[in-house]
Amino acid sequence: MRYALIRILLAASALAPYSATAVDIQLPPETAVFKPSELPGYMLAQRNCMTCHSVHYIQSQPPTSPRSYWEATVKKMRVPFGAKLADEDIPAIVDYLVKTYGAERSSGTMAHNTADKPATVAPTPPPGPADAKALLAANNCLGCHAIDKKIVGPAFRDVAAKYASKANAAALVARNIRDGGSNKWGPISMPAFGHLSEAEAGALAHYVLSQ
């Protein structure tokens, strides 16, 4: 018994350096984007879906998938995986996906996609362009960000600290909001919010930097 215990302890000590070693994995930057569309679900998909996975996941689905398949797929993201999708947004997202990537794609997509370049399709204008909290809600910003902790994207306070020493901080943050991008805070891309006016992006930037 004593010798068996010694052998177990020696084996555990031999494996300890490997189990304690952290592996730093660098993911490539996100390059795929949603196909532009005038359908309202285009902006909803861009805001919600890319918080958990890349567009490549959607592009890999069977192109003959019917509407029922896409509805089940979207609902699966919410129920097992905890995606924060509003009930009222699901039909529009499904409609965009099936008409862009599924069985109904010949009837619902834009004829000119310009090589998958992101388009700026304006949804219903949010109330009060200078009202930062209304803009946060209208654009689902708090689905990825919080004031004092990282969710998918950085905490607002971390952004404010990073840009505190920059004279043009508000302009830089506003541009990042409108242009989106990746590899600023990690491998997960932030979608572009090009539909926001400069005043709206500026209001959001000032709010973030004030935290």
pLDDT in tens, 38-90: 888 888 887 777 767 778 788 888 888 889 888 888 888 876 667 777 888 88
CA atoms 206, 170, 140, 27: torsion sign = negative
**What pLDDT, on a 0 to 100 scale, did the predictor assign at position 2?**
45
pLDDT digits over 137-177, tens only? Answer: 888 888 889 999 988 889 999 999 999 999 899 999 999 99
> Helical H runs in the chain?
2-19, 41-48, 55-59, 67-78, 90-100, 105-108, 132-138, 156-162, 169-179, 198-209
Judge contact between 70 and 97, C-beta under 8 A. yes
Percent of the chain surpassing pLDDT 70: 71
Q: Where are the domains of the chain?
A: 41-108, 132-209
**What pLDDT, on a 0 to 100 scale, did the predictor assign at position 27?**
52
pLDDT of 97 > 70? The answer is yes
Class of domain 41-108: mainly alpha
**What pLDDT, on a 0 to 100 scale, did the predictor assign at position 61?**
84
Q: What is the residue-averaged pLDDT of the chain? A: 75
- For the segment(s) 132-209, the CATH number from 3.20.20.140, 3.40.50.720, 3.40.30.10, 1.10.760.10 is 1.10.760.10
Q: In DSSP terms, which residues pair with 145 in a beta bridge?
A: 150
| Rounded distance between C-alpha atoms, residue 60 and residue 157, angstroms | 37
Q: 54: Cβ–Cβ under 8 A, 6 or more apart, which residues?
A: 30, 32, 189
- What average pLDDT does range 92-105 have in this prediction? 89
Residue predicted with more confidence, 138 or 127 = 138
Count Cβ atoms below 10 Å from residue 12 Cβ, excluding itself. Answer: 10
**What pLDDT, on a 0 to 100 scale, did the predictor assign at position 72?**
86
Grouping H, G, I as helix, E, B as strand and the rest as coil, residue 101 is coil
Q: Which two tokens stand for residue 143?
A: 């689905």
Percent of the chain surpassing pLDDT 90: 18
pLDDT of 98 > 70? The answer is yes
- What average pLDDT does range 7-23 have in this prediction? 50
Domains 41-108 and 132-209 in one fold: yes
Model confidence at 115, pLDDT cuts 50, 70, 90, reads very low
- What average pLDDT does range 182-187 have in this prediction? 78
131 exposure class (CB count in 10 Å sphere: 0-12, 13-18, 19+): middle
